[in-house]
Amino acid sequence: MQLLSTGETAPLRIHQANRRGYDHTNNYAFNNPQLAAQNRSNLRYFDPEEAANYGLPAALILHNLRHWEEERRVIAPFVA
């Protein structure tokens, strides 16, 4: 298992439990159980094509920006 940041306090872990050499799938897990529970109740998604083109962090940020833009339009639909 590899940490995304240094130390045991890293927010996420990357785990590669692949049995085949051609499989490079990573599994991600939260280190903090409270954070994991909070995120299970408030899921966010991303576009796999954007993740392939720009990377997972960028795809998540793009999705988040779109989400909050939609939320803003509900509150103030005619504000540019």
For 12, residues 6+ apart whose C-beta sits below 8 A from its C-beta are 3, 4, 28, 29, 30, 31
How far is C-alpha 68 from the chain's CA centre?
A: 16
Report the distance separating Cα 34 and Cα 40, nearest Å: 10
Over residues 12-44, the pLDDT tens digits come to 777 777 677 787 777 777 777 887 777 777 666
Task: Tokens 């954007």: give the residue.
Answer: 50
The model carries a pTM of 0.43
Instruction: Give the tens place of pLDDT for each residue, 62-80.
Output: 998 998 888 888 887 776 6
Predicted local confidence at residue 1, as pLDDT? 46
With tokens 């159980």, the residue in question is 33
Runs of H (alpha helix) within the chain: 33-41, 48-54, 56-75
